[in-house]
């Protein structure tokens, strides 16, 4: 079994928009949230999404603590395609897009945003990322600095929670979820140790 901290990046300078692949920097509060969630926590490795809202604080922490860090594109946020970087309120003004958004969040197999990916595709790449983590030597706790979408997919996979049910878990900016997981009979098996809101 391996123990990991899944940490959603802190608040960004861009609020109210669908932040998938659109890059944004952390706000001052976002940096404070990150520092609070990692204070007094020990890590042997830090994995990070390549997006700067996750990457910059992860690499700063790794440098400060002399811990190995690695960027992993599979931990990037879901690609919202044509909706990416747009205000949700603005998108919802279009009845057709509002209906597509509702279907997208309700059904993991629904079509993703135009030019983007759906939840099942995200889940597939998180399964690859979790598998790589389990294959690596376990030298202690790992920190994964990522986004809400990948965290939901990881919970779904590790704890056998249907993707359309992981919305019951609040994952706000700066949320940390400590998870112990491994494989049992070839399938992921995990348990949530704690969920700490910022």
Pairing of strands 187-196, 176-184: antiparallel
Q: In the chain, at which residue ranges do the beta strands (DSSP E only) sit?
A: 2-8, 45-48, 68-71, 142-146, 176-184, 187-196
Nearest 10 degrees: Cα torsion 173, 191, 166, 19: 30
Has residue 111 got a pLDDT over 90? no
Among 139, 86, 141, CA closest to 114: 86
Token digits of residue 80: 């919202």
Give the model confidence (pLDDT) of 56-65 as tens digits: 999 999 999 9
- In three-state secondary structure terms, 134 is helix
CA-based torsion, 59, 119, 164, 15: positive or negative: positive
Mean pLDDT over 112-133 rounds to 94
Which residues neighbour 25 within 8 Å (Cβ) at sequence distance 6 or greater? 12, 13, 52, 53, 56
Give the model confidence (pLDDT) of 19-28 as tens digits: 999 999 999 9
Q: If pLDDT is split at 50, 70 and 90, which confidence band does 109 have?
A: confident
Stated pTM of the model: 0.95
Among 160, 104, 130, CA closest to 2: 130
Rg (CA), the chain: 16
Mean pLDDT over 158-165 rounds to 92
Mean pLDDT over 47-53 rounds to 98
Give the model confidence (pLDDT) of 64-103 as tens digits: 999 999 999 999 999 999 999 999 999 999 999 999 999 8
Residue with tokens 């889940």: 123
What domains, with CATH codes, occur in the chain?
A: 2-78+117-196 (3.40.50.1240)
């Amino acid at each position: 079994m391996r123990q990991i901290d899944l940490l959603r990046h802190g608040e960004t300078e861009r609020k109210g928009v669908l932040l998938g692949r659109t890059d944004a920097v952390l706000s001052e509060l976002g940096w404070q949230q990150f520092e609070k969630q990692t204070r007094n926590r020990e890590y042997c490795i830090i994995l990070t999404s390549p997006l700067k809202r996750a990457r910059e604080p992860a690499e700063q922490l790794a440098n400060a603590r002399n811990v190995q860090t690695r960027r992993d594109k599979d931990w990037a946020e879901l690609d919202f395609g044509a909706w990416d970087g747009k205000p949700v309120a603005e998108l919802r003004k279009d009845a057709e897009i509002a209906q597509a958004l509702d279907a997208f969040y309700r059904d993991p197999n629904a079509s993703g945003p135009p030019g983007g990916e759906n939840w099942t595709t995200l889940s597939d790449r998180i399964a690859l990322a979790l598998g790589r983590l389990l294959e690596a030597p376990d030298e202690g706790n790992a920190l994964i600095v990522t986004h809400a979408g990948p965290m939901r997919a990881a919970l779904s996979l590790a704890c056998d929670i249907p993707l359309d049910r992981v919305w019951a878990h609040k994952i706000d900016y700066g949320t940390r979820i400590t998870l112990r997981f491994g494989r049992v009979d070839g399938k992921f098996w995990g348990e949530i140790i704690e969920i700490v809101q910022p």
